[in-house]
Amino acid sequence: MDHRRPDDGASSLRLRRHNNRASTTSPKASDALPLPLYLTNAIFFTLFFSVAYYLLHRWRDKIRSSTPLHVLTFYELASILSLIASFIYLLCFFGIHFVQSFISRPSNDVVWEDDVTDILLPQIPILPPLHLAHHHDDEIVKSVVEGETPSYSLESTLGDCRRAVAIRREALQRVTGRSLQGLPLEGFDYESILGQCCEMPVGYVQIPVGVAGPLLLDGFEYTVPMATTEGCLVASTNRGCKAIYASGGASSVVLKDGMSRAPVVRFSTAKRAAQLKFFLEDPLNFDTLALVFNRSSRFARLQHIQCTMAGKNLYLRFTCSTGDAMGMNMVSKGVQNVLDFLQSDFPDMDIIGISGNFCSDKKPAAVNWIEGRGKSVVCEAIIKEEVVKKVLKTNVAALVELNMLKNLAGSAVAGAFGGYNAHASNIVSAIFIATGQDPAQNIESSHCITMMEAVNDGRDLHISVTMPSIEVGTVGGGTQLASQSACLNLLGVKGANKESPGSNSRLLATIVAGSVLAGELSLMSAIAAGQLVQSHMKYNRSSQNVCQM
């Protein structure tokens, strides 16, 4: 599917490219040939075209003199053999790699940032040393340590991901002189991450997963998985869930659902850049642009284009729906389609980059706080007075005052944008890691403003969280791994929803917002009641002697 990360073929292609670079720079690679590689290529190129030219002239003379073509002289026979030999050489050297590049290329055809050097550097196809797989592990480790075998090519060379990780791990320990004891090796499916989640693995990190809940949200109960190493976090969120449940539950609304990508293009003059801006913002042109954009995927649907200028530079913020995928690959491919289409009418447009940071991805930016990115969600609940007192151990007036002075005024004094909350990032990060989301997108996904107000004559508490840019998906990337897939399954949002594409990812976004609501409620209550330091001293301090570790 278009929204998935590149598959194993793409990884092996990337490994071959790295292997090619290593082969061209290593003196041992050139020593294996009797002649320099460029000279060998030149000889076979010259031989191929020379004998082809000679044979064409000979056959033309035979046709003119009515001589049978199958009657061959010694020189003609030698020329045919030379033609065949040079053709086989050129086919093996260039043709096979050319065909494999199409077979191995990922379906979304998106150029990743870490692929740029692979494209710019010359690519000389060298077949991997398959015989290495039959060597003993100690011999391969020695080869990696001495630089004869690239560490990043072990998976493709050996054909065994588990063995490749063990060899890379041992080589790393020998090179650095430092032990990796304590970093687990066994018990992980390394095949599942090849080409999509992590390169050059040497093990995996264990992060405990706790559950909070049940979270009563929109009439349904959810047990929320949270991967964290912070004490009190799961317990605190669980207390918030208890308070929400006892008060009748929370409700949520998805306000927007659209992923964005913003390329930057440049013209020779600002006037010319403005012409493209007006063209893109003209409603009469939207249907044509949407048709071009939507070819990228059966789930991609262009919603709008927002343009802004900086001199003669133009930033184009495309926003589209992406089904149940988080959608970065999908929207990037759609943007590329539109840029290619625009090039015919604006040939002087210089495409500087597919991303110009007006998106804005994995960085704090006001545009996401104002315009939204991914799923924009608001979640609210009314907590009854007796619940505030018995479960949260505080009172409504204290919570309202603390929220105003801390989350609103305090954040304003700090110059925050998007950070008008107590600890939304805590809950977002824990759920992201547990469910296979991109942890770096926690930055914009944690934008949140927490509001508290006394209602029903001041007896009860109305609390809400508004989160304009929750970036989640239930397919693609880390969501396919076994552990993360199990956590998604626990929430009932695993994979794509065939009946209503996009509903699983939207539901996951509301669960994130509902969990943040519970976390905000509990932490603010702990602060208002003066319990924060006491609880962390009890649950978040190690009893081990760190000097002996």
> Around Cβ 295, how many Cβ atoms within 10 Å?
14
User: What is the spatial distance between Cα 211 and Cα 198, in angstroms, rounded to a whole number?
Assistant: 26
Query: ω into residue 360 within 30 of 0, thus cis?
Result: yes
Question: Is residue 471 flagged as an active site residue?
Answer: no
Distances (CA, A) of 544 to 259, 342, 541, 547, 548: 45, 63, 9, 9, 8
User: What is the spatial distance between Cα 537 and Cα 534, in angstroms, rounded to a whole number?
Assistant: 5
The continuous run of DSSP H or E covering 340 comes out as helix 328-345
User: What is the spatial distance between Cα 380 and Cα 460, in angstroms, rounded to a whole number?
Assistant: 13
Closest by Cα among 336, 332, 342 to 280? 342
Closest by Cα among 359, 357, 315, 381 to 469? 359
Question: Is residue 536 flagged as an active site residue?
Answer: yes
Q: Which of 135, 256, 304, 362 is catalytic?
A: 362
Q: Which of 7, 199, 438, 453 is catalytic?
A: 438
Q: List, as one string, the DSSP characters of 34-70.
A: SS-HHHHHHHHHHHHHHHHHHHHHHHHHHHHTT--TT
Question: Is residue 131 flagged as an active site residue?
Answer: no
Cβ-contact 111, 263 below 8 angstroms: no
Q: Which of 135, 142, 462, 536 is catalytic?
A: 536
User: What is the spatial distance between Cα 261 and Cα 267, in angstroms, rounded to a whole number?
Assistant: 20
Q: Which of 230, 380, 385, 453 is catalytic?
A: 230
Distances (CA, A) of 342 to 212, 310, 353, 461: 50, 20, 15, 53
User: What is the spatial distance between Cα 353 and Cα 314, in angstroms, rounded to a whole number?
Assistant: 11
- Cα–chain center distance at 499: 26
Distances (CA, A) of 121 to 25, 53, 62, 200: 12, 33, 47, 21
Buried b or exposed e, range 271-286, using 16+ CB within 10 angstroms: ebbeebbeebeeeeeb
How large is the angle between the packed helices 74-90 and 37-64, nearest 10 degrees?
Answer: 140
Question: Is residue 199 flagged as an active site residue?
Answer: no
Which amino acids are annotated catalytic?
A: 230, 362, 438, 536
